[in-house]
């Protein structure tokens, strides 16, 4: 069979609420597009069901006559999907997951970033620190929750079980989670939200309940999402290079498909805590 004129890759993105308004998804696609234009390659976007992974890879995606490689935007902690493609010889790259096995990935250290975020709240005198956790079926959600817990443990701070509430990276669950936390009798003085979208819901619920930010409640988010720039209080958050992750992922899978990259590729990109107005000192 003659070689196709352009290299063709597949970008697999798990489907979730508001996917086409998702900062993560759009930034990954933006980064991939930058590389695709430079190397003159096609990237086909394959949006898949999150509830079942069996349909993620069909026979057309595993046909090396048509597909040069697969870039997974996330895998929901399901390495079996990646290994299936690897077994038939399709080059793969996973984003947003740190993997101990010899599988290619580009990610950030979500646990370390969350740890530093919570530690920042502790340095401001907060001990009643809650979290609105993300979707723990994803590595990012799970590691950010572990980072929160380890920061508290490292400073000998005990948190009640009901200080952990789940927003699953979505607006509606995050709003419900924020209401639960902020209506507690011994309500937290600080909340680490595992995404900026959830942090904004916390901020809005606080406003409804007449809780002042940051005077009575400090909030830290995660993503440095531009949508937070219109918030009434500038959000302290973690900046992570999502577009760069997509750009490098596309570049590396292209090089891997041509046998020009030493395997496995394992890259952990830096994050940065951006300190803004939403964190204040705890009242004594």
pLDDT at 1: 45
User: Is 251 a member of any domain?
Assistant: yes
User: Is the residue at 276 inside a domain?
Assistant: no
- The answer to whether residue 53 is domain-embedded is yes
Is there a single domain that holds both residue 185 and residue 222?
A: yes
Which of 6, 263, 38, 49 has its CA nearest to residue 137? 49
Q: What local confidence, expressed as pLDDT, does residue 201 receive? A: 97
Same structural domain, 39 and 87: yes
Domain assignment present for 160: yes
Query: What is the Cα–Cα distance from 53 to 147, expressed in whole angstroms?
Result: 27
Q: What is the pLDDT of residue 17?
A: 66
Compute the distance between CA of residue 279 and CA of residue 221 in angstroms, rounded to an integer: 11
Cα separation, 203 vs 218, whole angstroms: 9
Q: Are residues 24 and 142 located together in one domain of the fold?
A: no
Count of structural domains, the chain: 2
- Number of Cβ within 10 Å of residue 6's Cβ equals 11
Return the sign of the alpha-carbon dihedral for residues 262, 264, 265, 266: negative
Tell me if the bond preceding 163 is cis, omega within 30° of 0.
no
2 within domain boundaries:
no
CATH number at residue 43: 3.40.50.2300
Instruction: Assess whether 235 and 245 both reside in one domain.
Output: no
Cβ neighbourhood burial of 183 (10 Å; 0-12, 13-18, 19+): exposed
Residue 29: C-alpha distances to residues 67, 128, 172, 204 (Å): 18, 38, 25, 29
As beta bridge partners, residue 92 has 70
Asked whether residue 283 is assigned to any structural domain, the reply reads no
Residue 98 maps to a domain: yes
Please indicate, yes or no, whether residues 223 and 205 belong to a single structural domain of this protein.
yes
Spans in the chain with pLDDT lower than 70: 1-5, 17-18
Q: So what's the pLDDT on residue 3?
A: 52
Domain residue limits at 80: 8-108+240-271
CA torsion 175-177-178-182 (nearest 10°) is: 140
Q: Is 262 exposed, middle or buried (0-12, 13-18, 19+ CB in 10 A)?
A: exposed
């Amino acid at each position: 069979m003659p070689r196709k004129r352009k290299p063709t890759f597949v970008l697999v993105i798990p489907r979730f609420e508001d996917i086409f308004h998702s900062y993560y998804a759009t930034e990954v696609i933006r980064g991939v597009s930058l590389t695709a234009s430079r190397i003159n390659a096609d990237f086909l976007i394959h949006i898949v069901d999150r509830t079942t992974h069996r349909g993620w890879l069909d026979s057309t995606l595993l046909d090396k006559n048509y597909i040069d490689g697969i870039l997974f935007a996330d895998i929901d902690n399901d390495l079996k999907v990646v290994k299936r493609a690897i077994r038939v010889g399709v080059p793969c790259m996973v984003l947003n997951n740190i993997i101990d096995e010899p599988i290619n990935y580009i990610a950030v250290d979500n646990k370390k970033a969350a740890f530093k975020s919570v530690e920042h709240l502790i340095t401001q005198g907060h001990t009643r620190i809650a979290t609105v956790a993300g979707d723990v079926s994803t590595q990012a959600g799970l590691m950010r929750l572990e980072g929160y817990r380890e920061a508290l443990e490292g400073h000998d701070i005990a948190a009640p079980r009901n200080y952990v509430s789940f927003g699953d990276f979505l607006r509606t669950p995050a709003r419900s989670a924020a209401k639960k936390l902020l209506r507690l009798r011994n309500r937290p003085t600080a909340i680490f939200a595992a995404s900026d979208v959830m942090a904004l819901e916390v901020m809005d619920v606080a406003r409804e309940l007449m809780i002042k930010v940051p005077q009575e409640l400090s909030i830290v988010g995660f993503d440095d999402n531009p949508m937070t720039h219109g918030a009434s209080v500038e959000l302290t958050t973690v900046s992570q290079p999502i577009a760069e992750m997509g750009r490098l992922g596309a570049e590396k899978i292209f090089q891997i498909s041509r046998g020009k990259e030493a395997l496995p590729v394992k890259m952990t990109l830096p994050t940065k805590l951006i300190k803004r107005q939403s964190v204040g000192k705890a009242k004594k």
